[in-house]
Structure 1
Amino acid sequence: MSGKIQVTYLAAGWCLSYPDAELLARVPMIRAALSEFPAALAPFATVLDNLENTPLLEAQAQYVREFDLGKRHALHLSYWTDGDTRRRGEVLGTFKNVYRGSGVLVDTHGELPDYLPMVLEYAATVDLAGGQELLQAYRPSLELIKFGLQRDNLPHATIVQALCNTLPGASPADEQAVMRMAGYGLPTESVGLDPYDPRLLPTTGV
């Protein structure tokens, strides 16, 4: 079972990352690795098909529209729980400490340490248990990312659902259920931008 989870995490980390020539070259390998496990490939099939059949520049533009131009599908886990607050700095330090505690030098590639693809790659290649603890701690963030992707009919939603399926317990039915599961309220001490409230997600637009 751990082998399937590690392959799922690594494949998801790559598929949720900005597409480049290296990622396109990995698509056959991703397909082959996922195909070793029953039903593991299905959640990734549409994204992999799109990567293979879309010109790279167009795929990159799509990714920027979907993940970089707005916060509806933000892939930084603590953004969903702490917004742009002073508390978030402490949370990011927690992610860094987990990476340092592994004894392995983790290259952040200029990203914040709570960037979901980075957490997934860490779990898949360095410390599965430690990585899963981070994912479980931020399960509400995963669920909210998934709901945002579903609402906009984006194929990455099934990949994030596959990630949620590797964690204990069933997924909440909707965003309000996620908030109840998480048991947290709004961040109140902001720095710069207002704290982000997942309960006020827009229903249309970016």
Structure 2
Amino acid sequence: MGTLARLLTRRGDAGAGPTASAPRRARGPLGLLHASGMTTEQLRVTWIAVSWLLTYPHPETIERFGTVRSLAASIPEPARDGVLGTLEALTGRDAVAVQEDYVDTFDTRRRGCLHLTYFSHGDTRRRGMALLRIKQDFRTAGLEIGDDELPDHLPVVLEFAAGHDAERGAKILRANRPGVELLRLHLADISSPWHGALVALCATLPPLDAEDRAAVLKLAEEGPEEETVGLDGYGLDGDAADQAARTAAASSPPDSCGSHAAAPGPVPVDLMRGRPS
């Protein structure tokens, strides 16, 4: 029986930690940032390594695997084993086969979606506002994301957290924790080579609390929400309306989480850029 099937059968996931005495949610930006026990440096390194592993595997992306392996040496367990596990699963394979596997994993399965707000808001009008909040976090850090990518694309969020604003990046990830956990469970269920990357990512986040577990279970049972009406014309204006329209575009084809899911992903960042002195 797969991990998700066990989750639904037992109404809990042993791999996500004990169900008794669920941990309290971290409060405040610093508590949120360091709830995993990692230092800011270790978080940044883990996030950029996972970002590169989850980026569409163009030849230049695959060429960075050596750098990712070097980065893994400076991060603690279980993040290190997760990063190295994905590297081992992908290294030496035919590049075209890896690309096909990536598209099948992340662009054709709803549970494999790399757009964070899809899990929390599905194809609903609320997703446009959630995307706008992420875009505003980017702007506060002095960044503008292009029109060819939604701001909740997981590799982009991780690049932002690693190279620009760790606290705001951690906030975005924490706000979408149930979706990240469901993605981890799904990749474990299909024995995906990218499962280790999600193990590493989850190691940087606070432990699941009772609210998170309930949200993961609901997502596993029911899937993300959907609306049969369009996203325009419901009191949204300016950027919010623009994000809502882009959300609607990202909802097709109907059997995928969005046409952007297999996009090339972020441009590599200098890890020192955006760091406080």
Q: TM-score range by the shorter chain?
A: 0.7 to 0.9
How many residues in Structure 1 have an aligned counterpart in Structure 2? 190
1:126 & 1:84 partners in 2: Cα distance? Answer: 29
Larger Rg: 2
Q: Are 2:95 and 1:56 aligned?
A: yes
How far the C-alpha of 1:134 sits from its partner, in A, is 0.4
How far the C-alpha of 1:176 sits from its partner, in A, is 5.0
Q: In 2, are the aligned partners of 1:123 and 1:130 still within 8 Å (CA)?
A: yes
CA RMSD of aligned residues (A): 2.8
Sort the Cα spacing of 1:58 and 1:175 in 2 relative to 1 into closer, same or farther, 3 A: farther
How far the C-alpha of 1:180 sits from its partner, in A, is 6.8
Tell me what 1:150 maps to: 188
Tell me what 2:173 maps to: 135
* % same residue: 37
1:186 & 1:45 partners in 2: Cα distance? Answer: 31
TM superposition score normalised by structure 2: 0.62
1:170 & 1:68 partners in 2: Cα distance? Answer: 26
Sort the Cα spacing of 1:48 and 1:148 in 2 relative to 1 into closer, same or farther, 3 A: same
Q: In 1, are the aligned partners of 2:114 and 2:153 still within 8 Å (CA)?
A: yes
1:27 & 1:191 partners in 2: Cα distance? Answer: 43
Q: Are 2:142 and 1:103 aligned?
A: yes
How far the C-alpha of 1:150 sits from its partner, in A, is 1.2
Letter in 2 for 1:88: R
2:182 & 2:209 partners in 1: Cα distance? Answer: 10
Q: Are 2:115 and 1:42 aligned?
A: no
Which structure 2 residues correspond to residues 1-206 of structure 1 after superposition, within 5 A? 1-39=39-77, 40-107=79-146, 110-170=148-208, 178-179=216-217, 187=225, 189-191=227-229
Q: In 2, are the aligned partners of 1:17 and 1:117 still within 8 Å (CA)?
A: yes
Q: In 1, are the aligned partners of 2:117 and 2:130 still within 8 Å (CA)?
A: yes
How far the C-alpha of 1:186 sits from its partner, in A, is 6.5
Q: In 2, are the aligned partners of 1:147 and 1:175 still within 8 Å (CA)?
A: no
Sort the Cα spacing of 1:46 and 1:171 in 2 relative to 1 into closer, same or farther, 3 A: farther
1:176 & 1:151 partners in 2: Cα distance? Answer: 19
Query: 5+ residue gaps in structure 2?
Result: 1-38, 231-247, 252-277
The secondary structure found in structure 2 opposite 1:41 is helix
Sort the Cα spacing of 1:175 and 1:107 in 2 relative to 1 into closer, same or farther, 3 A: same
